[in-house]
Amino acid sequence: MMDDVKRKYVIPGDVITTGPYRAEENVHLYGDKIIATTVGISEIYDSGVRVIPLTGMYIPRIDDFVIGIVKSHTSLSWELDINSCYAGILPAQDVFGRDFNPKVDDLTSRLKTGDLIAARIANSDRSRDPLITISDRDLGKIEEGELLKISPSKVPRLIGKRGSMIQTIESATKAIITIGQNGFVVVSSEEPEGLLKAMEAIKMVEEQAHVPNLTERIQQMLGSNSE
Amino acid sequence: MGVKKTDIVLLDENGIRCDGRKINEPRRIMIKAGVLKNANGSAYIEFGENKILAGVFGPRDVHPKHLANTDRGIIRCRYHMQPFSVGERKNPAPSRREIEISKVIKEALEPAVMLENFPRTVVDVFIEILQADGGSRCAALDAAAVALADAGIPMRDMVSACAAGKVADTIVLDINNEEDQEGQADMPVAYMPNLGKVTLIQLDGVLTPQEYEKCVNTALEGCKLVYEVQKKALKEKFFGDDAQ
């Protein structure tokens, strides 16, 4: 399966291929040419073509798991910083339930400016700011942990193949790491040492995302530090 | 002061120009991507004696809000010359010329950037001319395009720009400052090399239809040379040694 995927480094304007392929992420179709629109690694698989970006900001997509920072609120909703060009909108009904009454309920009693929340993008379209929800399992306010900001394009590298990278870091440091697709990462741990080590490892992944065998290097780094 | 108009030999009998170049030879071009930490994307270009920095922010919220467009993003561009960029101190306030160049650069980038993906946002492009030497609008545009790609803003194609002109009744590539002042025509052209589309063309001077066609083609050849340098700059930053 992996062998059928053709990879290539591309910059905007590079013609990836011509022919009957589906143009997927970060490419556009011009005549019969499929052209990259961003700096990244192009992939041709099955009948689709896409580019995995190496730079750029987070673009909200429906069902993405993100971490948001409460920026402000109106009487009906909170505004969240989701590291994108658009603010995330969290409606008050989502937190207070159906019987929310803006005359009675005070939004600051549940979430204050600066609070971190684990959330999911409920809806995102061109016409308005992305709608965010926390009504699901494992979503809601994040009570403790350190916030790290990494480039959203490095998130897949931090997670690794089938979560290998993140599992390596978590098991070596006993820290709990929550990664939002938007590049916000929350690390929490009982032991301050594990916390620092996990943060260091995450920073290392961000800096050296392009290096091969990074998981092994991280393992080495974490291993040598514990002695 | 100094050299009189007639003293400069713009083109000698061997086809060598005043700075030693041949008719179809561009100046030395060097581009480096990602030179600024605080901007989302940046580039530095040396184009002959031109030294130019470009920084890009965005897409981000538009302030003031009335400038925002509800169905697509907008580009704002500022081309600015430092007081020390030219021989005599330049007043740092934007001049008529700088406002015009800001506008044409903005309009040359617009067809390339996929603004329709980012409604209600702005992409800010800031260009600082540290040292000017003729053809700075083309060099600025080249740097701005690399900075946009460095910022990861979706683009249909790169934009490469280069000038051509008429000097001593001959069409030459990449006009420098002396040739601009003393020559007969100057034509900056910006081009999307993979789509084969021109996004900027200006002409200062008088050309016959035949000369015009030759001048455009010469400039396009220059754009293709610039494109290779832009490509190299981006590949160097993102792929390092393993770039093919």
Sequence-ordered strand ranges (E) for B141-219: 160-167, 170-173, 185-192, 197-201, 204-205
Q: Collect all residues of chain A within an 8 Å Cβ-Cβ radius of residue B154.
A: 12, 26, 37-38, 56
How far apart are alpha carbons A61 and B178 in whole angstroms? 53
**Tens-digit pLDDT profile for residues A79-124:** 999 999 999 999 999 889 888 998 888 898 999 999 999 999 999 9
Chain A: closest CA distance from residue B4 (Å): 46
pLDDT tens digits, one per residue of B33-57: 999 999 999 999 999 999 999 999 9
Indicate the class that CATH gives domain A146-226: alpha beta
The domain made up of A65-142 is a member of CATH 3.20.20.10: no
- The enclosing H or E element of A147 equals strand A146-149
pLDDT of res. A47: 85
At A6, the pLDDT band (50, 70, 90 cuts) reads confident
Task: Please check the confidence at residue A214 and state whether its pLDDT lies above 90.
Answer: no
User: What is residue B157's DSSP assignment?
Assistant: S
| pLDDT of res. A4 | 62
Q: Does the CB of A124 have a partner CB in chain B at under 8 Å?
A: no
- Using CB atoms and an 8 Å cut-off, which of residues 168-207 of chain A contact chain B? none
B145 has a pLDDT exceeding 90 = yes
Cα B72 to Cα A134, A166, A224, distances in angstroms:
29, 37, 51
What is the tens place of the pLDDT at every residue in A135-158?
888 899 999 889 999 989 889 889
CA quadruple A184, A189, A192, A198: dihedral sign:
negative
**pTM for the model:** 0.90
Is B182's pLDDT higher than 50? yes
Domain ranges of chain A: 2-53, 65-142, 146-226
- Whether B3 contacts B159, CB under 8 Å: no
Q: Is the pLDDT of residue A222 over 90?
A: no
The minimal CB distance from B243 to the residues A9, A13, A59 is found for A9
User: Residues A134, A140: contact at Cβ < 8 Å?
Assistant: yes
Chain A residues touching B70 at Cβ < 8 A: 127
Q: Is the pLDDT of residue A211 over 80?
A: no
Quick: pLDDT tens for B96-135: 999 999 999 999 999 999 999 999 999 999 999 999 998 9
Higher pLDDT, A209 or A75: A75
Per residue in A15-55, pLDDT (tens digit) is 999 988 999 889 999 999 999 999 998 999 888 899 988 88
What is the percent of chain A with per-residue pLDDT over 90, rounded to a whole number? 45
Establish whether domains A2-53 and A65-142 are of one fold.
Answer: yes
- Top-level class of domain A2-53: mainly beta
B19 interfaces chain A, CB cutoff of 8 Å:
no
- Cα distance from N-terminal residue to C-terminal residue, chain B: 51
* Domains of chain B (ranges, CATH numbers): 25-239 (3.30.230.70)
Residue-wise pLDDT tens digits, B156-165: 999 999 999 9
Q: Best of B153, B226, B230 to disrupt the A interface by mutation (most A CBs within 10 Å)?
A: B153
Which B residues 160-179 touch A at CB under 8 Å?
A: none
Q: For residue A26, which residues of chain B lie inside 8 Å, CB to CB?
A: 154
Does pLDDT of B139 surpass 80? yes
